[in-house]
Amino acid sequence: MGVSAALIGHSTLESIPLFHFYPGGSAIRLAFRPRRSLPCREGGFEICEWMKGPEAFPEVRLPHGVVEGLARRWGVDVLFLEGFEPWEAAGDVKVEGLPVAARAHGFSLPAADYVLLEDVSELAGAELKRDVARVASWLSSRGTPFELGVYLLEPRLEGLGEVLEVAPLARALHLYVRDPKGGGAAKALYAELKRRVPYVYLHAGIHSELDTYCPRCGAIVLQRHEGALRGHFVREGKCGRCGLEVPISGSLRERTSRTLLKLARGGVAWYNPLMYLSFKG
């Protein structure tokens, strides 16, 4: 019994990024060695490191109970399966009482409670878009909430392709843009997509758009800084101004823990699993 992991992380949900799943909460992240590799046409994205393949990520076999013990010690809300198609490597990893969230990239059908489905087709091949669209439809048919992420080399609407058709099925659409073209083009794409999808977020360095706006009245209902929830205007699950329901799964905290922010610095604190070989929980 046990689990083989390449890294163990402790982070906010916003740094993953999951913006509609336990906002302001935290996760224990298990990073798994990828079971496949893909070429990454351009660097500059963290996902490219994971796409290199299994040889770059040695794993450590952890005894049963280590993950649960750390989750309890850290007081996290979510177990997150991290990496490139981590579901293929994770097996039956669970912590009693914690929901499981996971990344997916179109190769498998993750039976998680919540999914971050990412389209890497602009980096690794346009044919992958069909697989992402298929998984999005499958998740929607099962009633599994998910957020959709799209990696773009440049802020072009054409870069979304058929994935744009399934974007309204997702809780949110995240755009990861390597070159925002001075910011104007990225902001224009963000504005255009907000007319098509209720909740859109732009991850483009200093040009990022991370706040959640009510799609009906335009009020900021969830305010963020990079990797952190700074505050919210949600009342009983609804926009505090107009009363429109805000799609959130799990509890909503007032703001991200300052202690966790100091530890993870708005990102994730990664640890070598070797540190926990003898940990008893």
Question: Does pLDDT of 280 surpass 70?
Answer: no
Which stretches of the chain are assigned E, i.e. beta strand?
A: 3-5, 7-12, 26-31, 60-62, 78-82, 100-104, 114-119, 146-152, 172-177, 200-203, 212-213, 220-225, 228-232, 234-235, 238-239, 268-271
Residue-wise over 170-186: b if at least 16 C-beta within 10 A, else e?
bbbbbbbbbebbebebb
44-70 pLDDT, tens digit per residue, is 798 998 888 767 778 899 888 899 999
Question: Does pLDDT of 1 surpass 70?
Answer: no
Give residue 125's pLDDT band: very low, low, confident or very high (50, 70, 90).
confident
**Does domain 3-210+257-276 match CATH 3.40.50.2300?**
no
Residue 116: phi and psi, rounded to 5, are -105, 100
d(CA 20, CA 187): 22
Q: Classify 244 as helix, strand or coil.
A: coil
d(CA 44, CA 60): 28
Distances (CA, A) of 279 to 8, 53, 74, 184, 275: 13, 29, 14, 50, 8
Asked if residues 98 and 76 have their Cβ atoms less than 8 Å apart, the reply is yes
Asked if residues 248 and 198 have their Cβ atoms less than 8 Å apart, the reply is no
What is residue 63's predicted lDDT score, i.e. its pLDDT? 87
Residue 267: phi and psi, rounded to 5, are -125, -120
Proportion of the chain above pLDDT 70, given as a percent: 98
165-206 pLDDT, tens digit per residue, is 999 999 999 999 999 999 999 999 999 999 999 999 999 999
81-103 pLDDT, tens digit per residue, is 999 999 888 887 889 999 999 99
Encoding tokens for residue 258? Answer: 């300052």
Residue 128: phi and psi, rounded to 5, are -65, -20
